[in-house]
A = this chain, B = another copy of it.
Amino acid sequence: MNRKTKHLAMGLILAAAGVTTIAVAAMKPEDAIHARQSIMRVMGLTFGPLAHMAQGKIPYNKKEFVAGALRLESVWEMNPTGRFFPKGTDKAIFGSGIAEYTKAKPEIWSEPAKFKKAAEHASEAIAKLAQAARSGDEDAMKSAAGGVGKACKGCHDDFHAK
Task: Identify the A interface with B (CB < 8 A).
Answer: 1, 6-7, 9-14, 16-21, 34-35, 37-48, 51-52, 54-55, 57-58, 67, 70-71, 74-75, 77-78, 95-96, 100, 145-147, 149-150, 152-153, 156, 160, 162
CA distance in complex: A11, B57 (Å)? 11
Q: A38 contacts B42, CB within 8 Å?
A: yes
Q: Is the CB of A17 within 8 A of B146?
A: no
* CB-CB nearest 8 A-B residue pairs: A17-B44, A19-B48, A10-B149, A38-B41, A38-B38, A6-B146, A13-B153, A10-B51
Pick from B34, B95, B162: contact of A41, CB under 8 Å: B34
Query: Which residues of the partner chain B approach A70 to less than 8 Å between Cβ atoms?
Result: 74
A42, B78: Cβ atoms closer than 8 Å = yes
Q: Please name all residues of chain B whose beta carbon is closer than 8 Å to the beta carbon of A156 when the two chains form the complex.
A: 13, 16-17
Residues of B within 8 A of A17 (CB): 40-41, 43-44, 47-48, 152, 156
Q: When chains A and B are docked, how far (Å) is the Cα of A75 from the Cα of B10?
A: 20
Asked if B14 and A48 sit within 8 Å, CB to CB, the answer is yes
**CB < 8 Å: which of B10, B38, B39, B160 contacts A54?**
B10
Shortest beta-carbon distance from A21 to chain B in Å: 6
Chain B residues with Cβ below 8 Å from A57 are: 21
Contacts of A47 in B (CB 8 A): 13-14, 17, 19
